Homo-oligomer: A and B are copies of this chain.
Amino acid sequence: MPRRIAIVGLGLIGGSLGLALKRANLPDLEVAGVARSRGTVQKARRLQAIDIDCADAAEAVSGAQLIVVASPIMTIRGVFAEIAPALAEGAVITDVASTKRDVARWAQEFLPMGVHYVGGHPMAGKETQGIDEAEASLFEGKPWVISPSVTADEASVQTIVGLAQLAGARPVFMDAEEHDSYVAAISHLPLVVSSALFSTAFGSAAWPELAALASSGFRDTTRLASGSPEMAHDIIATNRANLLHWLDRFQDELMRFRDVIGSAEGERVIEAFARGQLERDNYMTNGPPQRDVGEPMERISFADMLLGSKIAGMMRKQEEAIRAAEARVDEKKR
């Protein structure tokens, strides 16, 4: 019997993940997909992002070892409720939502005992949406946040690590609360700033002249303003406090720049911009600063993980080690 992965929601992320899974060409793997619109599911099938198109989420997840919920944030609660009765014992379930705290709460509330929820967030996207924009390479080199629930077992966590690695992404472990605070700074704040920047120009009576002059700098800094308003809504609804916190910090920083600019002191102006230039160049060239994160993670086969064979072996070894240790303790006691 083939192993099944179900993808619920076939937009940019769900569709791209399907394409990445199919590209990996794993033996005996079937990808079942479902989406709100029949047209999307059929398109996903034509693009070979999925093998089996399903009429509803419950059908897609039945018998699946791994379920990826890739529908908009505010729909996930309903999806969890809908699929809960159809989930197989021991199934691993993940999501790709841009915020993690509320989704983790919904998982706890709706998913049955015996399934393993491991939150996920691939930090990949475009300002455009939908299955037509899907690409197998979307996740390559991108961070993929993994945020396991307390009830998820080691094997289920490794399954999601394997999924991220198979898509070419870089797994990053993070608590759901931490995640939401961090993405507020580097993803949700830029979204709001980008939108406000665009509407400052667009809202001006001089917009036709401004638009005629605008070049790549304006285009890049306002790119995120072209994102889905529904996604912006869902992000804000589930991460409001963090976003407001970072908006305040940004406004303070902007005031600092305003003061320096208004001061007309050349040295201070150069200093204000030089630090950012230096540090951003450093970041772009050398990547994020390294914290002491211990041993690098062993790269494991996703196929093995899904089968559980490797984990089974690892678990056995751990248990043997524990038993040996216990035996030594017992020996001392005697």
Q: Per-residue CB proximity of A253-269 to B under 8 Å, as 1/0?
A: 11011100110101001
Fill in one digit per residue for A198-227: 1 if any B CB lies within 8 Å of its CB, else 0: 111111101111111111111111111111
Beta-carbon contact of B215 and A253 below 8 Å: no
The answer to whether A106 has its CB under 8 Å from any CB of chain B is: no
In the assembled complex, how far is the CB of residue A197 from the closest CB belonging to chain B, in whole angstroms? 6
Q: How far is the CA of A121 from the CA of B212 in the complex (A)?
A: 13
A63 in contact (CB, < 8 A): no
Which residues of chain B have C-beta atoms less than 8 A from A297's C-beta? none
Residues from 233 to 282 in A contacting B, C-beta threshold 8 Å: 233, 236-237, 240, 243-244, 246-247, 249-251, 253-254, 256-258, 261-262, 264, 266, 269-277, 279-281
Q: A132 to B43, alpha carbons, bound, how many Å?
A: 45
Residue A79 lies at the interface, judged by CB distance under 8 Å to chain B: no
Set of chain B residues within 8 Å of A192, measured between Cβ atoms: 254, 257, 261
Proximity bits, A140-158, B CB within 8 Å = 1, else 0: 0011010000000000000
Q: A199-B275, A288-B212 are in contact. Are A221 and B218 (CB under 8 A)?
A: no
A-B contact pairs, 15 of them (CB 8 A): A143-B213, A182-B206, A186-B210, A197-B250, A199-B276, A200-B250, A203-B253, A208-B291, A227-B277, A228-B277, A229-B269, A229-B273, A232-B270, A240-B264, A254-B254
- 8 cross-chain pairs, A with B, having the tightest CB-CB distances, nearest first: A211-B288, A229-B273, A229-B274, A123-B215, A232-B273, A190-B221, A212-B288, A186-B214
